[in-house]
Chain A
Amino acid sequence: MTSPYIKMEGIAKNFGPVQALKSVNLEIYTHEIHALLGENGAGKSTLMKILSGIYEPSAGKITIDGTEYTKLDHKIAAKLGIGIIYQELSVIDELTVLENLFIGRLPVTKTLGFQRIDWHEMRTKAAIMLLRVGLKVRLDEKVRNLSISQKQMLEIAKTLMLDARVIIMDEPTSSLTYNEVDYLFLIMNQLREDGTAIVYISHKLNEIRRICNRYTVMKDGSSVATGQITDVSNDDIVRLMVGREIQNRFRAIKESIGVESSETVFEVCNITSKDKRRVKDISFSVKRGEIMGFAGLVGSGRTEFMNCIFGVEPISAGRVKLHNEDITPSSPLDALKKGMGYITESRRENGFFDNFSIAQNIAISKSLKDGGFKGAMGLFNQDQEHALAEQQRKLLSLKCSSVEQNITELSGGNQQKVLISKWLCCEPEVIIFDEPTRGIDVGAKAEIYKVMRNLAAAGKTILMVSSELSEIMSVCDRIAIFCEGKLANILENNENISEEDIMKWALPQN
C-alpha cells in the first residue's frame, strides 16, 4: 500500500470548555472502505465535520494528497473531493432528480448574450451518473416519489458529481431493508474498485465485517485503535469501543436502599407504538424507589417509548399500570393527572416556555393538574406561584437572581432544574427523565444525579433515558437496553457489570 490519501494527526476540537476531540489519528487510503467505530458521543461526527470543512480543528494537522493543512473549509474540501452523506438525507423532496443532482451549480450557456441553464448538458451528465450508481428512475421524477434507498443512491450520485475521491457515509443502512443494503454494498464495492475511498460510520458490526477493509475505533474523543478488520473479533471491537476502565465517579451516589424488598409500583405491559415499528412489545416493571436506566443507540426507540407511555404518541397495543391499576394515559394531561411526570429530551423544543418567567414555568403543570375541566378552570394566584417557585428554588438550589427572571436567562443546568421543579410540584409517583444532562456542564450534572437519587430515596419511581453509559451505570439500579425498538434485556446494575455487557445488547445482531 502506498501513502495514505488522507492523514489526520493529533486532531483536537474544543467547543468552549467542552473538549469534543482530544487527539485523533486517522489514515484513509484510496481503494478502501474504512470503518469508523465508537459509542454515541465518541466524537465521530465532529471528526467528520472537520474533515468536510464544517468545523475548524483546535489543534493537529491534516495531510491530504501530500499537501498539509491546519484547517479545511467547505471550498477546499469540495475541491479535494471530500463528500459527506448524512444519516438524514439532504436531497430536496420538492425538486426533480435532475435538479437535485445539480443543486447550487447549474451549468449555464449563453444564447444571444443571455445566460440560461444548459438543460441539455445537465441531462447528459446526470444520465451517466445515475448509470454509475445503477439508479433506474426518470430524470424528471420528483424526489418525493423515490424510496429511501433510491434517495440514498441519488445522494451518492450527487457526491460523485463533485468528482469525490473520499465519501463519508454516516449510518447509511439504518433505514434500509436487507435487499437494499446488499445493493448499497454492491455499489460501494464498485466505487472502491474505481479508487474511491469510503469512510463508513456504523454500529452494525456484521455489516462492517462484510464490507470494510480497515477500522478505527474512537472513544471519548480519541482514536484508540486501528487496523485490519480481519485481525479483530466483534468482541474485541466492543471492548475497544467501551474501554476497560469503568468510571466509578458517580457510583458513590447510588447507595442501596433496599429496593429489592419494596413493592412493585409501576408496570408496563406489551406497549407497541402505532406504527408497530419504532416501539415493539415492551414490558417491564419497576419498584418503589428504583431508578431504571434505559440504554441503547440513538434511534433505538427509547424516547418514542417514553412518548407512548406518557400519552404523547398513540399506541396500538399495551397497558401502563400504577399500583396494579390500569392508568394507560390518553394524553399528557391524563398522564399528569394519574401521577406521572416527563422531563423531555429537548428543553427548548418541548420543555420550557421562553415567554414565561421561572415562576410561571414552574407553575404551569401544577396549575393544569389542579384546574378542573381540561386544566382550564379556575384562577391562578401570583403570590402562591411565587412562593411555590421560591420553595423549589431552595429545594433544588436553583441559581437565579429572582424567580421572576425570564427562563432564557438561565444556564442549561438551571433551566433543567426549573423543568424538574415543574413536575415535582405535581407530586408524581413516576418520573421520566429523558437525557436529563444533555448540554449541561459537569458540576450541574452531578447535582441533577443527586436530585434523582434523592427523589428515589423519597419513594419515587424513576425512568431515566441516557446515551451516556457511564451516567446510567452510576445512577441507576437496573438497566433496560433497547435495540431497534425492542427491549433486548434488563440487567442488574452492580459492581460486576461493564459497559461492554451493555453494548453487547445494544448493538443490532444481524
Chain B
Amino acid sequence: MGATAKLKEIKMDKSKFNFQKFWDQYGTFFILAIIVAIFGSLSSEYFLKANNITQILVQSSVTVLIGMGEFFAILVAGIDLSVGAILALSGMVTAKLMLAGLDPLMAALIGGVLVGGLLGAINGCLVNWTGLHPFIITLGTNAIFRGITLVISDANSVYGFSFGFVNFFAASPLGVPVPVIFALIIAVILWFITSHTRLGRNIYALGGNKNSAFFSGIDVKFHILIVFIISGICAGLAGVVSTARLGAAEPLAGIGFETYAIASAIIGGTSFFGGKGRIVSVVVGGLIIGTINNGLNILQVQTYYQLVVMGGLIIAAVALDRLISK
C-alpha cells in the first residue's frame, strides 16, 4: 500500500470516528426531538403546552430514577430486573413507617435509601456468592421482593399517611415540581460519581474488561456490590416519589418498570457489553419514555394499546440509534 493510500485510509477512519463520537454524545437528544416533533404535530393544541411539559417531566422522574440505577447494572455488563419490586417494597415500607408515626423525612430515608440499598446489596451479594449472571439473580429477587411487599401489605393499598409528605412532593418551588428537582439532584450526584470519582472510573473499567480489571488491582466483587446498591437506592427513591405522587403505597406498583428502566439506559446508548454509556444520555432516555407515555395518553390511545406502541417505539428508537451510528 502506498503512503498516500494509507494516509487516506487513516483520514477516512478519523471522519467516521468523529461522527460516531458525535452521535454517541448527542444522538439521544435527536431521538427525543424527533419524538417531540411527532407528538407535537399530531396534537399541537395540548402536547406542547407548558403545563403538559411540566407534566411530562414529573411523570418521567420515576423512570429517570430507576433508569439511572439500571444504567450502573448494565455498565458492568449485568442487568437489574428487580427495580420494579424494589420500588414497591421501598414505597410500602415508607408508607408503613409513616403510619407508625415516624417523621416523613426519616421514613423516606429509611424506606427509600436504607431499604432500597439493602435490597440492592442482597442482589449484589447473591451475584458475588453464586457467580450466576445478574439476570438470573434479579429475576429471582424480583419475585421475592414483590412477594414480601404483598405479605407485609396483605395485598392492600396503604394510605392515610401525612399530608405534609404528599404536599411536599406536589409543590413546585420556582415552578419546578419537587419530584423533578429530586431526580435532578440524584442525576447530578451520579454524574459526578461516574465522571470524577475513582469509584466511577473503576466501574467503567470493570465493565470494559473484567479480567483486566482484576489483574490491574480492582476488587471486582466489591464494585459489583456497590453497583447493585446504587441501583437499589435509585429504585428505593423512585418508590418514595411514586408513593407520594399516588398518595398511597400500592403493593403492585412498579410492575413492568424494569422494561422502562432498561429501555431508558439502552436508548441512552448504554452498551449491553458493558463499559460504555453516560448518565446524561440515560436521563434523556428516561425523558423519551416519559414523553411517549404522555403523548399516547394525550392522543387517547387505550392503555392496552399503549403497551403495544410503547414496545414498538422502544425497539424502533434503539434500532434507529444503531443504524445511524453505523
CB within 8 Å of B: which residues of A? 310, 312, 331-333, 335-337, 342, 344, 349-356, 360, 364-365, 367-369, 371, 374-380, 422
List 28 contacting pairs A-B, 8 Å CB cutoff, sorted by A: A310-B215, A312-B214, A332-B214, A332-B215, A333-B217, A333-B218, A333-B219, A342-B215, A344-B215, A349-B209, A350-B209, A351-B215, A353-B209, A355-B275, A364-B201, A364-B205, A364-B216, A368-B202, A369-B217, A375-B198, A375-B219, A376-B197, A377-B198, A377-B199, A378-B198, A379-B196, A379-B197, A380-B197
Bound Cα distance from A331 to B276, whole angstroms: 26
Q: In angstroms, how far is the closest chain A Cβ from the Cβ of B290?
A: 29
| Contact residues in B for A377 (Cβ distance below 8 Å) | 198-199
Q: Is the CB of B214 within 8 A of A422?
A: no
Closest to B215 in A: A350
| Contact residues in B for A342 (Cβ distance below 8 Å) | 215
Bound Cα distance from A354 to B215, whole angstroms: 15
Q: Is B222 interfacial (CB 8 A cutoff)?
A: yes
Closest to A371 in B: B198
Q: Is B67 interfacial (CB 8 A cutoff)?
A: no
Q: Is the CB of A312 within 8 A of B223?
A: no
Q: In angstroms, how far is the closest chain A Cβ from the Cβ of B12?
A: 14
Bound Cα distance from A330 to B213, whole angstroms: 16
Q: Is B40 interfacial (CB 8 A cutoff)?
A: no
Closest to B192 in A: A379
> A377-B198, A379-B196 are known contacts. Are A355 and B208 too (CB-CB below 8 A)?
yes
| Contact residues in A for B275 (Cβ distance below 8 Å) | 353-355
Q: Is the CB of B222 within 8 A of A376?
A: yes
Q: Is the CB of B215 within 8 A of A367?
A: no
Residue among A349, A354, A367, A371 making CB contact with B208, cutoff 8 Å: A354
Bound Cα distance from A337 to B205, whole angstroms: 19
Q: Is B226 interfacial (CB 8 A cutoff)?
A: yes
Bound Cα distance from A369 to B219, whole angstroms: 12
> A375-B198, A380-B196, A380-B198 are known contacts. Are A352 and B217 too (CB-CB below 8 A)?
no
Q: Is the CB of B215 within 8 A of A312?
A: yes
| Contact residues in B for A367 (Cβ distance below 8 Å) | 198, 201-202
> A333-B218, A375-B217, A376-B223 are known contacts. Are A349 and B198 too (CB-CB below 8 A)?
no
Q: In angstroms, how far is the closest chain B Cβ from the Cβ of A72?
A: 30
Q: Is the CB of A422 within 8 A of B219?
A: no
> A351-B212, A380-B196 are known contacts. Are A336 and B204 too (CB-CB below 8 A)?
no
* Interface bin, chain B: 20 to 34
Q: In angstroms, how far is the closest chain A Cβ from the Cβ of B211?
A: 4
Q: Is the CB of B202 within 8 A of A352?
A: no
Q: In angstroms, how far is the closest chain B Cβ from the Cβ of A300?
A: 21
Closest to A340 in B: B217
CB contact list, B39-59 vs A, under 8 A: none
Residue among B198, B208, B209, B215 making CB contact with A379, cutoff 8 Å: B198
With A350-B212, A351-B212, A376-B219 given, can you name 9 additional A-B contacts, CB distance below 8 Å?
A332-B216, A333-B217, A333-B218, A335-B217, A337-B217, A350-B215, A364-B218, A376-B226, A422-B216
Bound Cα distance from A422 to B213, whole angstroms: 12
Residue among A332, A351, A353, A355 making CB contact with B217, cutoff 8 Å: A332
Bound Cα distance from A356 to B199, whole angstroms: 15
Bound Cα distance from A336 to B217, whole angstroms: 7
Bound Cα distance from A351 to B196, whole angstroms: 23
| Contact residues in B for A352 (Cβ distance below 8 Å) | 209, 212
Q: Is the CB of A374 within 8 A of B215?
A: no
Closest to A354 in B: B208
| Contact residues in B for A379 (Cβ distance below 8 Å) | 196-198
Q: Is the CB of B212 within 8 A of A376?
A: no
Bound Cα distance from A342 to B217, whole angstroms: 10
Bound Cα distance from A355 to B222, whole angstroms: 21
Q: Is the CB of B216 within 8 A of A355?
A: no
| Contact residues in B for A336 (Cβ distance below 8 Å) | 216-217
Bound Cα distance from A360 to B196, whole angstroms: 12
Q: Is B207 interfacial (CB 8 A cutoff)?
A: yes
> A336-B217, A350-B214, A368-B216 are known contacts. Are A376 and B202 too (CB-CB below 8 A)?
yes
Q: In angstroms, how far is the closest chain A Cβ from the Cβ of B98?
A: 35
Interface mask (B167-200 → A, CB under 8 Å = 1, otherwise 0):
0000000000000000000000000000011110
Bound Cα distance from A369 to B226, whole angstroms: 19
Residue with the highest number of chain B CB atoms closer than 10 Å, among A310, A355, A380: A355
| Contact residues in A for B205 (Cβ distance below 8 Å) | 353, 356, 364
Q: In angstroms, how far is the closest chain A Cβ from the Cβ of B270?
A: 12
Q: In angstroms, how far is the closest chain B Cβ from the Cβ of A431?
A: 13
Bound Cα distance from A352 to B276, whole angstroms: 15
Residue among A355, A368, A371 making CB contact with B204, cutoff 8 Å: A355
Bound Cα distance from A365 to B209, whole angstroms: 14
Residue among B197, B204, B217, B219 making CB contact with A356, cutoff 8 Å: B204
Residue with the highest number of chain B CB atoms closer than 10 Å, among A335, A342, A352, A368: A368
Residue with the highest number of chain B CB atoms closer than 10 Å, among A367, A371, A375: A375
Residue with the highest number of chain A CB atoms closer than 10 Å, among B196, B198, B199, B204: B198
Q: In angstroms, how far is the closest chain B Cβ from the Cβ of A214?
A: 43
Q: In angstroms, how far is the closest chain B Cβ from the Cβ of A385?
A: 9
| Contact residues in A for B215 (Cβ distance below 8 Å) | 310, 312, 332, 342, 344, 350-351
> A332-B214, A351-B215 are known contacts. Are A375 and B202 too (CB-CB below 8 A)?
yes
Q: In angstroms, how far is the closest chain B Cβ from the Cβ of A364?
A: 5
Bound Cα distance from A379 to B202, whole angstroms: 11
| Contact residues in B for A422 (Cβ distance below 8 Å) | 216
Bound Cα distance from A355 to B212, whole angstroms: 12
> A368-B217, A374-B222 are known contacts. Are A355 and B211 too (CB-CB below 8 A)?
no
Bound Cα distance from A399 to B276, whole angstroms: 26
Bound Cα distance from A312 to B217, whole angstroms: 10
| Contact residues in B for A365 (Cβ distance below 8 Å) | 216-217
Closest to B223 in A: A376
Q: Is the CB of B276 within 8 A of A380?
A: no
> A349-B211, A356-B205, A356-B208 are known contacts. Are A375 and B218 too (CB-CB below 8 A)?
yes
Q: Which 7 A-B pairs have the closest CB atoms?
A: A355-B208, A355-B275, A350-B211, A353-B208, A333-B217, A336-B217, A371-B198
| Contact residues in A for B202 (Cβ distance below 8 Å) | 364, 367-368, 375-376
Bound Cα distance from A368 to B222, whole angstroms: 13
Bound Cα distance from A392 to B163, whole angstroms: 61
Q: Is the CB of B197 within 8 A of A378?
A: yes
Q: In angstroms, how far is the closest chain A Cβ from the Cβ of B282?
A: 16
Q: In angstroms, how far is the closest chain A Cβ from the Cβ of B209?
A: 5
Q: In angstroms, how far is the closest chain A Cβ from the Cβ of B206?
A: 9
Q: In angstroms, how far is the closest chain B Cβ from the Cβ of A339?
A: 12
Q: In angstroms, how far is the closest chain B Cβ from the Cβ of A510?
A: 35
